[in-house]
A and B are shown apart, each in its own frame.
Chain A
Amino acid sequence: MISRKLMYPLPALTLTEKECTYIMAPAIRTALPNAGISSCISSIVRHAPTQSLGLEVPNLYTTMGTARTSLLVEHCWQKTPTGRLLQIVIENHVLDVGLFGYIWDNTRFASFLQWCSHHSWLYSVCSFNNEHEISLSIGHAQLHPKRINDRALMEMASEFLQSTSELRAFNRVRMLHNVVSLADITSANGKKIDRIFTSSSEFEGSRNNFECIQASCQQW
């Protein structure tokens, strides 16, 4: 069992697996010998279900990950005030990722984790779900192509830029200009780059109705 004191705050936390192991270590070291089991028993056996001849000791990291996903699903479906805040967080994440379609597609996680912000609760949820092959279907506002043959800038940039730092730099400028796809930065006839986007200053026009907020709002 994980004590209630540890359980209650879990959905709000973004602990790493290592941190969870560290937190549970004193309890494991004491509880297992008292139950007549070696405290050095493999963690695989320790956390495995009893049907598989394991000890079924709850894993704090897995409990935290599933609690977060459960909370996200429950509040978004019920449209509670927390759910509406979570929807805003999801939309912020969508803009940060900069790709068309749903962000729950685990096949794209490996690419967008290179450039999106890691300091967010939602990133931790996506990361855990990707790691454990959990697929969500929570509806959210999506980015769409604006013209035929249009492609997301981040999708294209990931083909040409190899390093994470370059992708993040590109994403920072993209977010500064508040643009998403090729259609936003291409001339009206759809053939050439709009030269205004090659200057080193913020684009003052508007290509969408996305509002800009400070990064700190996203990092909760």
Chain B
Amino acid sequence: MNASKHHVSSGDFTVWRKALEYMYPNGQLVQPLGSWILADPADWLEYWEWFATLDGQFLYFREGPSIWHRFLRRPNSHHSYFGEFLVENTPLVPLRRATIEGDVHTLFLLNSSVQPALPTPEAPEEIQLGDCLALAPTIAWVTAYMRTSPSIQPLLDDIANGKAVAVGDGSYFEIYGVGSSAWILSSADGSSWIEGGGIVPGPIPDLNSYRCELGALLGLGVGTACLKNLLPETKHFMITACDNLEALRKSTVDRTKVKTTWKSVDLISQILDVWSKQHCTQLPQRVYGHQDDKRMGPLTFVEQLNVRMDKLAKTLAIRSFG
């Protein structure tokens, strides 16, 4: 980050000192500061000037990245050091940050603080999906409803082998101003699955069936992202099917082509973001919707899943308006 500098007058320094007197009544903080919080252990030596060895035998002054001045403690003294120094490379011994005062003849160590232990990185939030612990969904509304088969291991295997199928569908009830989305990740034989859905957020004028379909495609991305830590880190593919061709096109559009003037660009950008952070890549496939009503004869597996998601989306919407 960059900081801009303006002209500073003597009056500015007066105001600065006046404010410091308020902040440090009698030169002391009312609530002393606690342990250091370091983003990077290297910052400990980088962003401070004076240091002391743990036994207090030496003071170090950081002149440059690898130029250090070492000062020896005076005999029979706890806090007083000689003004002469030796030039050294970066010291390898552990050092405390120190505050000193003094002149070229004598330095006094006023106080010091020790380097904090490295904080343990926070474990990502996890949820139980079937027989596995998966990452918690990053977008809540799209997983307001979520269910799985007893075991999702076959699904994970099929995703890794590129055989799994993901299908989403949306449902829009214009008279109630409610739209919902439902999605499913299924193994090739349909025995192992994760399904979810929720009510599509947004102002009523922006709601339409297209937005609901985009919500379903977002659900597919979020659902797959939950499995990220269970899937291989090599590139793999999954069929993502939807009955709205335009929504399908938008879900795989080049990021640089996205315009903020597009309808439901909020969902489109989220879909692109969610998929860009995982090793799994979409293979978009159009599925014709409502084939159970329109066609006699057996439906393909993807069509069956689409019909199932259509029913789930309608159920979720009807539940929302009672």
Known: A149-B33, A188-B99. A193 touches B20 (CB 8 A): yes
Q: Nearest Cβ in chain A — how far from B98, in angstroms?
A: 5
* Contact present for A186 and B13 (CB under 8 Å): no
- Asked if B49 is an interface residue, CB under 8 A from chain A, the answer is yes
Contact of B12 among A88, A153, A169, A183 (CB under 8 A): A169
- Complex-state Cα separation, A73 to B269, whole angstroms: 11
Contact of A88 among B2, B38, B49 (CB under 8 A): B2
Q: Nearest Cβ in chain B — how far from A220, in angstroms?
A: 12
Query: For the side of the interface on A, what is the size category?
Result: 35 or more
* Contact present for A146 and B29 (CB under 8 Å): no
Interface digits, A153-173 against B, CB 8 Å rule (1 contact, 0 not)?
100110011000010011011
* Contact present for B2 and A212 (CB under 8 Å): yes
Known: A92-B2, A95-B3, A149-B31. A188 touches B97 (CB 8 A): yes
Q: Which residues of B contact A84 (CB under 8 A)?
A: none
- Asked if A197 is an interface residue, CB under 8 A from chain B, the answer is yes
* Contact present for B99 and A187 (CB under 8 Å): yes
- Asked if B259 is an interface residue, CB under 8 A from chain A, the answer is yes
Query: Which of the segments B109-117, B159-167, B219-227 contacts the partner chain?
Result: B109-117
* Contact present for B3 and A211 (CB under 8 Å): yes
- Asked if A182 is an interface residue, CB under 8 A from chain B, the answer is yes
Interface centre among A73, A147, A160, A207, by most B CB within 10 Å? A147
* Contact present for A205 and B15 (CB under 8 Å): no
* Contact present for A191 and B111 (CB under 8 Å): yes
Q: Nearest Cβ in chain A — how far from B31, in angstroms?
A: 5
- Interface majority SS on B: helix, strand, loop or mixed? mixed
Contact of A197 among B15, B20, B28, B269 (CB under 8 A): B20
* Contact present for B8 and A189 (CB under 8 Å): no
User: Which B23-57 residues have a C-beta within 8 angstroms of A?
Assistant: 23-24, 27-29, 31-39, 46-50
- Complex-state Cα separation, A144 to B18, whole angstroms: 25
By beta carbon, the residue of chain A nearest B16 is A173
The total of interchain contacts (Cβ-Cβ below 8 angstroms) comes to 176
By beta carbon, the residue of chain B nearest A216 is B4
Interface digits, A169-180 against B, CB 8 Å rule (1 contact, 0 not)?
110111110100
Known: A172-B8, A189-B99, A211-B1. A149 touches B34 (CB 8 A): yes
* Contact present for A190 and B1 (CB under 8 Å): no
- Complex-state Cα separation, A206 to B269, whole angstroms: 39
* Contact present for B34 and A147 (CB under 8 Å): yes
* Contact present for A182 and B6 (CB under 8 Å): no
- Complex-state Cα separation, A217 to B6, whole angstroms: 12
- Complex-state Cα separation, A198 to B35, whole angstroms: 24
Query: Which of the segments A1-9, A25-33, A74-82, A105-113 contacts the partner chain?
Result: A74-82
Known: A147-B37, A173-B12. A188 touches B96 (CB 8 A): yes
Q: Which residues of A contact B34 (CB under 8 A)?
A: 147-149, 190
Q: Which residues of A contact B23 (CB under 8 A)?
A: 153, 156-157, 160, 182, 193
Q: Nearest Cβ in chain B — how far from A150, in angstroms?
A: 6
Interface digits, A111-148 against B, CB 8 Å rule (1 contact, 0 not)?
00000010000000000000000000000010011111
* Contact present for A205 and B32 (CB under 8 Å): no
- Complex-state Cα separation, A49 to B245, whole angstroms: 33
- Asked if A62 is an interface residue, CB under 8 A from chain B, the answer is no
* Contact present for B4 and A173 (CB under 8 Å): no
Q: Nearest Cβ in chain B — how far from A122, in angstroms?
A: 12
- Complex-state Cα separation, A114 to B53, whole angstroms: 44
- Asked if B11 is an interface residue, CB under 8 A from chain A, the answer is yes
Interface residues of B (CB under 8 A from A): 1-13, 15-20, 22-24, 27-29, 31-39, 46-50, 96-99, 101, 110-113, 255-256, 258-261, 269
Interface residues of A (CB under 8 A from B): 70, 73-74, 77-78, 80, 88, 91-92, 94-96, 117, 141, 144-150, 153, 156-157, 160-161, 166, 169-170, 172-176, 178, 182-183, 185-195, 197-198, 200, 205-215, 217-218
Q: A189-B32, A194-B99 are in contact. List 15 more A-B contacts (CB 8 A).
A: A70-B261, A78-B255, A95-B2, A141-B1, A144-B39, A148-B34, A149-B34, A166-B18, A172-B6, A175-B5, A185-B20, A193-B20, A197-B20, A212-B2, A218-B4
Q: List 29 A-B contacts (CB under 8 A).
A: A95-B2, A145-B37, A147-B35, A147-B37, A148-B33, A149-B33, A149-B34, A150-B37, A153-B23, A166-B18, A170-B16, A172-B8, A173-B8, A175-B5, A175-B6, A178-B3, A182-B23, A182-B29, A188-B97, A189-B99, A191-B111, A192-B29, A192-B111, A195-B101, A198-B17, A208-B47, A210-B1, A214-B4, A217-B4
